[in-house]
Homo-oligomer: A and B are copies of this chain.
Amino acid sequence: MTDEIPEVVIERLPLYVRTLELLVGAGQEVISSRELGDLLGVTPAQIRKDLSYFGRFGKQGRGYAIAALVGQLRSILGLDRRWRMALVGVGHLGRAILAYDGFARQGFDVALAFDADPRVVGTVIDGVPVHDIAVLPDELGRSPVDIGIIAVPARAAQAVADRLVECGIFSILNYAPATLRVPAPVHVRTVDPVLQLQSMTYYLKSAEADPVPSGA
């Protein structure tokens, strides 16, 4: 009964949370949709509509009590608990992920790691044990996680995704430059800065051809 809230709305909520938490830290107690919209670069109507999917959090004439709203949104998003993640691939990128403390600071713990290279299997990196990818099902059975992180070469990414799905993983954060096909209930988010650069160049190119974008 996940009553059809548009995915775009869900994807904006973390943005609201982040900015509201900054305001809490700054001591602000109340904010209007207009003010929050200005900070985020979205329209006030969009903020009000988004929030209205989940309840009535505001006070007419005043705005939203920031601390209370943050609490509600964190609870809606499931950010009121910690989440366990398994990392697959401990090459350059995987190691950077293990060394990064930003996930843990936000409640996401990398609990275990996997790799195919026998030279790293059995080691512990930044406190995280590295297992052989072959024992993925065993280890995830013993020590279940909520989220899988893929940090392997593109050519291996689909096979890893398939295995994670087989192990009952429903959420995948994919760092490989590959399009992953997964069954419907599984969610994939891909981190791919090259793809992002490759779409920005379209506008750079157009701008060069037409240095005054307003004209003609």
A40 to chain B, nearest CB (A): 5
Chain B residues whose CB sits within 8 angstroms of the CB of A205 once the complex forms: 77-78
Chain B residues whose CB sits within 8 angstroms of the CB of A125 once the complex forms: none
Stretch touching chain B among A59-67, A134-142, A184-192: A184-192
Pick from B11, B102, B185: contact of A194, CB under 8 Å:
B102
Count A-side interface residues using an 8 Å CB cutoff.
57
Chain A 76-102: CB-based contact to B (< 8 A → 1; otherwise 0): 111100010000000010001001101
Structural contact, B189 and A196, CB atoms closer than 8 A:
yes
Q: Say how many copies of this protein the assembly contains.
A: 2
Q: Which of A34-57 contact B (CB under 8 A)?
A: 39-41
Structural contact, A100 and B108, CB atoms closer than 8 A:
no
Structural contact, A10 and B146, CB atoms closer than 8 A:
no
Chain B residues whose CB sits within 8 angstroms of the CB of A39 once the complex forms: 179
With A170-B207, A179-B19, A210-B2 as known contacts, state yes or no: A106 contacts B197, CB within 8 Å: yes
Structural contact, A78 and B191, CB atoms closer than 8 A:
no
Chain A 193-216: CB-based contact to B (< 8 A → 1; otherwise 0): 111111111111111001001001
Q: Of all chain B residues, which has the CB nearest A99?
A: B92
Interface on chain A toward B: helix, strand, loop, or mixed SS? Answer: helix
Pick from B2, B15, B213, B216: contact of A179, CB under 8 Å:
B15
Q: Of all chain B residues, which has the CB nearest A1?
A: B216
Q: Of all chain B residues, which has the CB nearest A7?
A: B199
What CA separation (Å) do A136 and B216 show in the bound complex? 33
Pick from B18, B96, B179, B200: contact of A147, CB under 8 Å:
B200
Among A40, A102, A147, A201, which residue has the most Cβ atoms of chain B within 10 A?
A201
Structural contact, A77 and B198, CB atoms closer than 8 A:
yes
Q: When A and B form their complex, which 3 residue pairs have the shortest distance between CB atoms, in order from nearest?
A: A78-B205, A14-B198, A189-B196
Q: List 12 A-B contacts (CB under 8 A).
A: A2-B213, A11-B195, A14-B195, A15-B179, A39-B179, A40-B179, A78-B202, A108-B194, A147-B200, A170-B207, A173-B193, A191-B193
